[in-house]
Amino acid sequence: MAQRKIAVKICVGTACFVQGGADLLLYEDFLEPSLLERCVIEGTGCLGGCKVQDAKSGAPFVEVDGNVHANVTVDRLRQLIKEAIDA
């Protein structure tokens, strides 16, 4: 049976893009192949996180399997994907 893919959406809205989202879009450069093959990763418009949290303190936002996370760094994105795989 094929393994379920983790759905990852990186916000490319302005607030997120300028506060680190642009770095996250380089995911192919920093995520290990073993993680990349378990995910479907795409950029997306505003996830709404910046509307409910202070955009300055919360961006960039990333959605992993339907859950929106704030302040996502390269290391945090890697960790979130690992957690989703192990869940």
Give whichever of 19 and 39 is closer to ligand FES, judged by the CB atom: 19
String of contacts with ligand FES for each residue 16-55, x by CB under 6 A:
x-----------------------------xxxxx-----
Pairing state between β 6-11 and 62-64: antiparallel
**CB neighbours (10 Å) of residue 52?**
12
Give whichever of 4 and 14 is closer to ligand FES, judged by the CB atom: 14
**CB neighbours (10 Å) of residue 25?**
17
Burial of 53 (0-12, 13-18, 19+ CB in 10 A): middle
Give whichever of 31 and 59 is closer to ligand FES, judged by the CB atom: 59
Q: What residues make contact with ligand FES under the rule CB under 6 A? A: 11, 13-16, 46-50, 59, 61
